[in-house]
Amino acid sequence: MEKISACIFDLDGVVVDTAKYHYIAWKSLANELGFDFTEEDNERLKGVSRMTSLEILLGIGEVELDEATKLKLAEKKNKNYLEYILKMTPDEILPGVKEFMNELRSKGVKIALGSASKNAMTILNQLELTNYFDAIVDGTHVSNAKPDPEVFLKGAKLLKVDPIDCVVFEDAEAGVEAAINGNMKCVGIGSPEVLGKANIVVPGFVGFSMAQLNF
Ligand code: B16
Ligand code: MG
């Protein structure tokens, strides 16, 4: 096995399923604007920033708005989304995640977060997971969205490890590309059809261990 100094985790879709709450909040906004927003549409928002998500949603509804209105709508959606987030509990951590993180800790592998979300700190606190991370980089710290590798490279820098010795865990295609663009290894969490560029793709963390990081 090659040297692995750090594992960098995406948040939504890897550590926790917040996509369902994003969906409720975006759908409610779309309905207010007079059009429907399906679960299939919601797939297009995974891993994408809040404002880009809004642009995609408005494109689906063929609605054109000025910048000030867009900012207000994004804020409104986030307020609604936060009502769900603030009710989350540690039970919502996806199965196997904590066990794998405990293994990493016991083997001296550093752990970082690399998420597009500006609500990452709130979510980690709700999940009581904040203390598991040696470094946290989220949507409030970066100016370039995935597939730009900025979020992961910042994590590696904070941990003082070489990108080549990092493994990224990602559920979105743009996130897998960001890892590759950062010269990091990547485990895709989800389906091989979408995440085929990752070194390996697994459905989730149940039964997952460092032994599988042998690529
Ligand atoms: P927020 P990740 C991403 O999280 C979500 O996948 C994406 O759907 C969301 O639009 C984005 O965070 C921004 O979230 O509105 O909370 O800032 O997968 O990068 O952890
Ligand atoms: Mg994600």
Does 27 score more than 60 pLDDT? yes
CA 215 – CA 199 distance, rounded (Å): 7
Percent pLDDT > 70 in the chain is 99
Where are the domain boundaries for CATH 3.40.50.1000 in the chain? 6-17+92-212
Task: Give the tens place of pLDDT for each residue, 61-108.
Answer: 999 999 999 999 999 999 999 999 999 999 999 999 999 999 999 999
Amino acid occupying residue 78: N
Kindly give the number of the ligand 1 atom that is closest to the alpha carbon of 53.
10
Type and span of the H or E element at 114 = strand 110-114
Q: Does residue 48 have its Cβ closer than 6 Å to ligand 1?
A: yes
For the stretch 157-178, pLDDT in tens is 999 999 999 999 999 999 999 9
- Check if 165 is active-site: no
Is the CB of 122 inside a 6 Å radius of any atom of ligand 1?
Answer: no
Rounded to an integer, the average pLDDT of 132-145 is 96
* Of the options 3.40.50.1000, 1.10.3720.10, 1.20.1560.10, 3.30.465.10, the CATH number for the domain spanning 6-17+92-212: 3.40.50.1000
User: Model pTM?
Assistant: 0.95
pLDDT of residue 215: 86
- What is the H or E stretch that residue 26 is in? helix 19-32
CATH superfamily of 19-85: Putative phosphatase; domain 2 (1.10.150.240)
